[in-house]
């Protein structure tokens, strides 16, 4: 059975918690991404995550200025992390249980990101 490290997306695009939401929006647009990993603010700190949904619901929907809002104000931290040696089935269970579409793959450091799209791409056995 495949593991998270075999199907995860690399390299990972990250952003600082001190960056503006506008900067994140531009980076996500440029890289065609729906989420960014937020870098730890200090050694031993955990990763965060900011998604397009965070931006829509926590910034745009309530009329905040994306240039004035920092990523640290809207990100999720800590986020659910996946071990690189977990099976794809275990990853699916974690994503499902937590109502997530993506999670960082971490073992001492950030190795990649695994998304529902990665899982679907690798498990579409019917397409031969």
Q: What is the pLDDT of residue 127?
A: 56
Q: Which residues contact 100 (CB under 8 A, 6 or more apart)?
A: 80, 94
Burial of 70 (0-12, 13-18, 19+ CB in 10 A): middle
Domain housing 27: 4-127
CATH code for the domain of 27:
3.10.580.10
Q: What is the mean pLDDT of each run of 10 residues along the chain (128 residues)?
A: 94 96 98 95 90 96 96 95 97 96 94 95 67
Q: How many domains does the chain have?
A: 1
Residue 10 is encoded by which pair of tokens?
């690399």
Distance CA 96, CA 93 (A): 5
pTM equals 0.88
């Amino acid at each position: 059975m495949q593991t998270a490290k075999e199907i995860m997306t690399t390299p990972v695009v990250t952003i600082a918690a001190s960056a503006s939401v506008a900067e994140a929006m531009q980076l996500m647009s440029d890289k065609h991404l729906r989420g960014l990993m937020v870098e730890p603010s200090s050694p031993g700190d955990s990763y965060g995550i900011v998604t397009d949904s965070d931006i829509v619901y926590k910034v745009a929907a309530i009329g905040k200025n994306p240039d004035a809002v920092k990523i640290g104000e809207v990100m999720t931290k800590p986020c659910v992390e996946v071990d690189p040696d977990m099976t794809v089935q275990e990853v699916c269970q974690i994503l499902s249980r937590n109502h997530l579409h993506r999670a960082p793959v971490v073992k001492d450091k950030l190795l990649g990101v695994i998304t529902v799209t990665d899982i679907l791409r690798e498990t579409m056995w019917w397409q031969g």
